[in-house]
Amino acid sequence: GAVVSQHPSRVICKSGTSVKIECRSLDFQATTMFWYRQFPKQSLMLMATSNEGSKATYEQGVEKDKFLINHASLTLSTLTVTSAHPEDSSFYICSARQGPNTEAFFGQGTRLTVV
Amino acid sequence: GESVGLHLPTLSVQEGDNSIINCAYSNSASDYFIWYKQESGKGPQFIIDIRSNMDKRQGQRVTVLLNKTVKHLSLQIAATQPGDSAVYFCAENVGAGGTSYGKLTFGQGTILTVHP
């Protein structure tokens, strides 16, 4: 089956710093990747849709200047949380799909803790 | 619309019982639905899906029922096992088969606990 890998799986950073999370499709080329955020005991909420070679599309209420998304290759998308604050602490999950008519597969998630 | 819960509903069952987890979805235009299982600290794991032109689909030990009239989805797990303990989410997709395929809106989730 299709494998999507996130790195790191856990990260702790200091308030005010930036942290980058990687999402890789290991055995397929992903034209589209999706980034979700999940707070404790809550559901997943879509943050943005990332298409290879173009700007990401952000959901309403998600600050594009705070959550920088880059999808420069067909196997890698990155989410950078800039000037992180404790309220950004969350579980960040990506999914990736090969094409418009294919299902999306999820990564294992990244636990971000901002102290 | 978005479905986010601050307190997830819970379901406790005994090993061997059948479990039914329910989900109310929000968008009448959704045409594809998926159930996911999420264990602590992990990403969602695909269980079963169903398209809007169906009202029932069966997998191994799982059955999904779709009632479009009332926008309701259910997941039935037969002979529930302790390994089934997890949080279960339904997700809906508008425009599946097109450019929105995989762009999911998740339901609030249900915590399933299976007691041996």
User: pLDDT tens across B42-95, in order?
Assistant: 999 999 999 999 999 999 999 999 999 999 999 999 999 999 999 999 999 877
Q: Are strands A57-58 and A44-51 parallel, antiparallel or unpaired?
A: antiparallel
Chain B environment of A42 (Cβ under 8 Å): 4-6, 8, 108-109
Residue B1: pLDDT band with limits 50, 70, 90: very low
Is the model's pLDDT at B110 over the cut of 90? yes
HSE-up (13 A, CA, CB side) for residue B72: 7
> Would you call B16 an interface residue with chain A, using a CB distance cutoff of 8 Å?
no
Contacts of B111 (CB under 8 A, 6+ apart): B8, B9, B10, B11, B86, B87
> Would you call B97 an interface residue with chain A, using a CB distance cutoff of 8 Å?
yes
Integer CA distances (angstroms), A104 to A3, A25, B99, B113, in order: 10, 11, 12, 27
Nearest to A107 among B8, B43, B108 (CB): B43
The per-residue pLDDT for B3 is 41
* Mean pLDDT, rounded, of chain B: 90
Is the model's pLDDT at B97 over the cut of 70? no
CB–CB of A109 and B97 under 8 A? no
How far is Cα A44 from Cα A39, in angstroms, rounded to an integer?
8
Summarize the confidence of residues A64-68 as an average pLDDT. 97
Identity of residue A86:
P
- Least Cα distance to B101 among A32, A70, A29 occurs for A32
In percent, how much of chain A has pLDDT > 70?
Answer: 99
* Mean pLDDT, rounded, of chain A: 94
Is the model's pLDDT at B5 over the cut of 50? no
Over residues A8-51, the pLDDT tens digits come to: 999 999 999 999 999 999 999 998 999 999 999 899 999 999 99
Summarize the confidence of residues B37-45 as an average pLDDT. 95
Cβ pair A4, A110 in contact under 8 A:
no
Lowest mean pLDDT among A76-80, B26-30, B99-103: B99-103
Q: What one-character DSSP code corresponds to residue A16?
A: T
Chain B environment of A101 (Cβ under 8 Å): 97-98, 101
| Residue B80: exposure state from Cβ atoms within 10 A (0-12, 13-18, ≥19) | buried
Chain A environment of B109 (Cβ under 8 Å): 42-43
In percent, how much of chain B has pLDDT > 70?
Answer: 88
